[in-house]
Structure 1
Amino acid sequence: MDGRSSNKRQLEAQREGDANAKRHNVAMRLETLDCYVCSEPLRPPIFQCSLGHFICLSCRSEILDKKCLLCSAVTSFERCFGMEHVVMSVTVACSNAKYGCAEQISYYQKEEHEKVCPNAPCFCPESGCGFAGSTMALLGHMTGKHKCPLSTCDDPSLVNAYLYLEPGLRVLHCHEDGQFFLFSMASEPFGHAISVVCVQPRVTEPKFTCDLYYDSSTNGDSQKSYCKIRSSSLSDGLPMGYDLIVPKGKVSDEGDGIMLRATIRGKRKVLYDSDSDSDSDSDKAPSGRSKGRGPKSDYSDANHERPIPLAARLIPDYSESEDERPLAARFSKIRGYER
């Protein structure tokens, strides 16, 4: 039995080697592999009329009089296994090869692949800069070339994040899942206008929500905003509009920047034991906090998806501290470091 299995494996290896030896790079007009009716790439099953004109399954299903639309011949449209073998053998490079994609895809699967290709480009939003690259390449470009301040998140279970924002851009990167956010602050005549965007190759429905909160350290005024984070490849620059506006009359921080608290929650499903989770919820830490989870969220998910918060490099939460100094004073040293 072992001898027969060994011989079979050797024969399969030999056939594979012969197939590789016969593989050649050839040039051809790819529209030859398109359906002549809809001009979409042919994919199995493929059908042909009596004179050899190829059509796809969708077009064949719509031809009711069994007449070829190209030659007008009345035909039965037989399946062509030979052409199917051809289209399955033709591979092409991804259009994102110059951005790092090394995939070789069947011609008829190229469009589907490029819709989800992780190497699709994102674009630098800085005026006059034409850089384009993968998400991680853009991250390195913005922090290296343009010196954008970078905050990182290693543990997405942490909630509160304090960011010192100045006019311009600030990068927030979560190592665990690779999410890349851009915070933008513009000094307008009416105040500080702040926005946040999730940088990714394809625009999708918002996957993240964000709480932005500013608390004045002198007059007690505060500004708070809840928004759904837009996604963008930044091909047209930063999205229009703002997510939080802090009037200049309410800004008490020194300098041109402000200390902002941000909380980002992602709508990703997390598998967990509901029984053990309810048990742990009953074991509360002081001041209404669940152990190891930070402050409770005011938001619940109707689909039973536990919000997963992302945070920037965290500054300790002094909400229960005996230090009664204003927030800006307590963070003065750290704020100087963040600059």
Structure 2
Amino acid sequence: MSEQQERKRGSTPGNDEQTLSGKKPRAQPQVVAPGVVVKQEPEEAGAVMAVQAMDEPQIKLTFGVSLFHCQACLLPLKPPTFKCEAGHVVCCTCRGKHGQASGRAATYAACRERDAFVRDAKLPCRYEEFGCKSLVVYYQAADHHGACEWAPCSCPAPGCDFFTSPPRLVEHFVADHRWRVTKVRYGAACKLPVPAPPQGCHVLVGEGGRSVFLVSQCALGAATAVSLVCVRANGDAAAGAAQFKCKLWVEVELPSNKDKLVLNMSAVRSSDLSGGFPAADMNVFLAVPPVLLHDASGDAPDLMVCIDKACVPGGGTGQE
């Protein structure tokens, strides 16, 4: 992340301590008062733990992260957990490793009390300032952050260092760059003008408003290369495969015939746009030759775009 991006994105929560706002507790005399904070030693990093039960009020507590980390692999504890006679708590898969590391055989017992805390410990998403309101189970935080659709992306306009989540980038594109925005329905074709300077790109917003796409152009010799990218910081890595597929085509009425140029994209690339607009030689693109840039009337042709959700491992489709 560049220094410019750090300046533009605004302040972020401190690394030493994270807090969680719980629900206001109901009046019950035996319950700890709301807002009670229990802190460990100053040098220990904080982790938020919300004690949750079906009919119980919620409070916020701060614990040292060592209570939530396996003492063998040092990663967040995942249920079921086990405790040896020395009091060390480890994950199920680390029992053998921990015994070997200690140099002696160890006896482990299920640590159901710790499991209850591990399952309920939650903290705000690290991208809360960019719009994510999720409360994430602590040991699942890495998976959430790797897939979070609110992870920030860059504005690709030259000289612009704006940096925020894709949905909020749309507002910036309109207010600061006057780029055209079109809402699209998955599986349905929409008609756009072939992008050309000075506009340079067209913004497409998928159903639900959370997935954002950019249609951009660049010169490719005498032709125009038109490409489409999903604006998402971690879309491909999160799903294990691209979440969307796309079809681009141009139809042109010429005096003697009607020409059609089609590009089928089985996988739409995701990008955080930190390097600006994706270059034609780095992405799949539709190369529109000069003869197809104008129809019989001399007007620019329409670009037809159809975006749909792609199948992902497990037989489902990409999530919006």
TM-score (norm 2): 0.66
1:113-192 equivalences in 2 (<5 Å) = 113-153=144-184, 158-167=188-197, 168-176=200-208, 178-192=210-224
Question: 1:78 and 1:38 mapped to 2: Cα distance?
Answer: 18
Partner of 2:285: 243
Q: Does 1:53 pair with 2:88?
A: yes
The yes-or-no answer on 1:211 pairing with 2:248 is yes
Structure 2 matches for 1:68-107, cutoff 5 A? 68-88=99-119, 90-107=121-138
* Match among 58, 66, 71 for residue 36 of structure 1: 71
Give the Cα separation in 2 of the matches to 1:23 and 1:109.
Answer: 25
| Cα shift readout 1:179-199 (whole Å, capped 9, x = no counterpart) | 422111113333111111122
Distance, in Å, in 1 between the alignment partners of 2:107 and 2:316 is 52
Structure 1 stretches of at least 4 aligned residues deviating more than 6 Å after TM superposition? none
Q: Relative to total residues, which structure has the larger helix share, 1 or 2?
A: 1
- Counterpart position of 2:37: 24
Q: How many angstroms apart in 2 are the aligned matches of 1:157 and 1:241?
A: 22
Deviation (angstroms), 1:32: 4.9
In structure 2, relative to structure 1, the CA distance for the partners of 1:266 and 1:242 (3 Å cut) is closer
- Please tell me whether residue 232 in structure 1 is matched to residue 264 in structure 2: no
* Change beyond 3 A, Cα 1:83–1:196: same
Superposition pairs of residues 57-68 of structure 1, within 5 angstroms: 57-60=92-95, 62-63=96-97, 68=99
Correspondence 1:193 to 2:225: yes
- 3-state secondary structure, aligned to 1:35: coil
The gaps in structure 1 that reach 5 residues or longer are 1-11, 270-302, 306-339
- How far apart, in 1, do the equivalents of 2:123 and 2:186 lie? 39
1:129 is paired with a residue of what secondary structure? coil
Distance in structure 2 (CA, Å) of the matches to 1:87 and 1:109: 10
Instruction: Tell me the distance in 2 between the aligned counterparts of 1:131 and 1:84.
Output: 42
Assess if the C-alpha contact under 8 Å between 2:248 and 2:304 holds in 1.
yes
Distance 1:81 1:160 in 2: 55
- CA positional deviation for 1:211: 2.8
- TM-score, structure 1 normalization: 0.63
Moved more, 256-265 or 161-170: 256-265
Classify 1:15/1:110 alpha carbon distance in 2 versus 1 (closer, same or farther; 3 Å).
Answer: farther
Residues 203-228 of structure 1: per-residue CA shift (max 9 Å, x gap): 23232221322425456454332223
What is the root-mean-square deviation of aligned Cα atoms in Å? 3.5
Q: Secondary structure at the match of 1:266?
A: strand
* AA aligned opposite 1:108: Y
Question: What residue identity is the alignment partner of 1:35?
Answer: C
Higher mean C-alpha displacement, 68-77 vs 163-172? 68-77
Q: Give the conservation status (yes or no) of the 8 Å contact 1:163–1:260.
A: yes
- Identity percentage over the alignment? 24
Query: Rg larger in 1 or in 2?
Result: 1
- 3-state SS of paired residue (1:145): helix
Give 5+ residue unaligned stretches, structure 2. Answer: 1-24, 46-64
Distance 2:301 2:146 in 1: 39
CA shift at 1:39, angstroms?
Answer: 2.1
Structure 1 residues 110 and 134: CA distance shift in structure 2, 3 A: same
Counterpart in the other structure of 1:266: 308
User: Partner of 2:276: helix, strand, or coil?
Assistant: coil
CA–CA distance in structure 1, aligned partners of residues 209 and 174 of structure 2: 19
Post-superposition shift, 1:245?
0.9
Q: Matches of 1:59 and 1:251 in 2, distance apart?
A: 63
